[in-house]
Amino acid sequence: MAGMDTDKRSTDGHTGNNKALCTWRGIPLDVIRKRGAASRIQVLPDGTLRVTISCAEPVERLLEAHTTWIQRKLAQIQQVTQEHPENSDRLLLDGEYFAVREGSSCAVDRAERVITYTTPLGLKRTLTTLLRDELTGRIDARCDSAAKKCRRICVRMQKTRWASCSARGTLSFNLALAALPPDLRDYIVAHELAHFDEPNHSRKYWDLLESRYRGAREADRRLRAFWILIGRNRYWQILRDLGTWENAFRRRD
């Protein structure tokens, strides 16, 4: 199950020299040049444009050709941030923002909306275990035939998908599901299980999913907003990257 559609591929064969830009029309721009690469534009949740392009192709010409698409994606991000107040000093979990504090163990206090951690890696493992246990319970509680086809559950950080399923019965879930409200996690479970019966996104698939999860289309729309909010949340960025985390993860007073 893919996340929000935030990239645009181009088969345009323009060539020419172009310097790497840091902005385009005032928009932050990240240019990645690869020999022989197919052109791709991504609009990241923070509003940055990331362009993957061949060494010879002009960046500005590519961007100008897709101006309308870029503006539409940026408008969607702006709308989400206006409708959903952000809190960069808290971690998004269960659709709410939790305070993050260093402690002697990793734990989630949902009543007080507080998360304690020892290291980011330790917290990542704790969230992975909690999410896997919850998703296992949600699948086991379902009575439809598709749930019986699940043989294995895998939870890991993914960059572009909420979840996916394999023909062998493996369901792979993005750890970022932990940030979603519980009802949307249930929707993603239903969405992936339906793929065991209908492997595409045809009309027949959506009719099947709607029979198992009422309001599937609306849930799918809500997911797009959370994809942006998760991508903009500082703590989820750290959990995803786990770069120089020791100082970055400490909550600033």
Residues 31, 138 within the same domain: no
Pairwise CA distance, residues 172 & 40, whole Å: 26
What is the residue range of 36's domain?
7-83
- Domain end position, chosen among 35, 67, 83: 83
Q: For residue 1, tell me if it sits in a domain.
A: no
Picking from 44, 79, 41, 72, the residue whose alpha carbon sits closest to that of residue 225 is 79
Q: For residue 107, tell me if it sits in a domain.
A: yes
Per-residue pLDDT of the chain (253 residues; tens, 9 = 90+): 766 555 665 544 333 334 455 889 999 999 999 988 889 999 999 899 999 999 888 999 999 999 999 999 999 999 998 888 878 789 999 999 999 999 999 999 999 999 999 999 999 999 999 999 999 999 988 867 777 788 899 999 998 899 999 988 899 999 999 999 999 999 999 999 999 988 889 999 999 999 999 999 999 999 999 999 999 999 999 998 874 444 455 544 3
Residues 52, 143 within the same domain: no
Residues 72, 162 within the same domain: no
Residues 237, 149 within the same domain: yes
Q: Under 8 Å CB-to-CB from 27, ≥6 apart: which residues?
A: 47, 48, 49, 70, 74
Residues 173, 225 within the same domain: yes
Residues 34, 126 within the same domain: no
Q: Total structural domains in the chain?
A: 2
Q: For residue 120, tell me if it sits in a domain.
A: yes
Residues 97, 55 within the same domain: no
- Domain end position, chosen among 28, 58, 83: 83
Pairwise CA distance, residues 64 & 129, whole Å: 45
Residues 109, 170 within the same domain: yes
Picking from 156, 150, 146, 223, the residue whose alpha carbon sits closest to that of residue 187 is 223
Residues 174, 240 within the same domain: yes
Residues 75, 144 within the same domain: no
Look up the CATH number of the domain holding residue 130: 3.30.2010.10
- Domain end position, chosen among 83, 102, 128: 83
Question: Phi-psi bin for 60: left (phi > 0), alpha (psi -120 to 50), beta?
Answer: alpha
Residues 133, 194 within the same domain: yes
